Amino acid sequence: MKVTKLLHTRMRVSDLDETIRFYTTVLGLEVIEQKTSPRGSQLAFLKVPNSAELIELTSFPPSGPVRVQEDLVHLAFQVESLDETIALLTMQGVKITDGPTNSSSGSRFIFIDAPDGYEIELIERPAGEDIV
């Protein structure tokens, strides 16, 4: 067996509407589909600009509250300008939890928290660099 493509990453959330609002308003992602799964989970698929992979958000209240373990997982997104991103986040009242930090590769990054405590890394790469 050999996998051929990463399709999506699934994250369980407590409040689907609040989380969708965060990802669309703060990060500019687009909801491309919302539906109910056969077992009753509420699902939303979000598209990230310039990426083929999707983020699947799911809410299933009978499973109990979501508890995200610190430093377990995070999503990383590339931004054009970290300074502009910081200014926009500040205007929206979004707290920067770490950074800005300069890396040895020339990248700069910050961290913010999404609803339920999922950590988001926002990275500005040096001009011409688009790799992981």
131 pLDDT above the threshold of 80: no
Asked if 53 and 8 touch (Cβ cutoff 8 Å), the reply is yes
Nearest alpha carbon to residue 115 among 53, 33, 25: 25
pTM here is 0.86
Residue 1's pLDDT band (cuts 50, 70, 90): confident
Alpha helices in the chain (DSSP H): 16-21, 82-91
Q: Exactly one of 84, 121, 124, 129 is catalytic; name it.
A: 121
Q: What is the pLDDT of residues 2-49, one digit of tens each?
A: 878 888 999 999 999 999 999 999 999 999 999 999 988 999 999 998
Backbone angles phi, psi at 74, to 5 degrees: -150, 160
**Hey, what domains does the chain have and what are their CATH numbers?**
1-61 (3.10.180.10), 68-132 (3.10.180.10)
* Planar angle of CA 18, 22, 24, nearest 5 degrees: 115
Q: What is the pLDDT of residues 34-92, one digit of tens each?
A: 999 998 899 999 999 888 899 999 999 888 888 888 777 889 999 999 999 999 999 99
For residue 33, indicate whether it is catalytic: no
* Planar angle of CA 129, 130, 132, nearest 5 degrees: 110
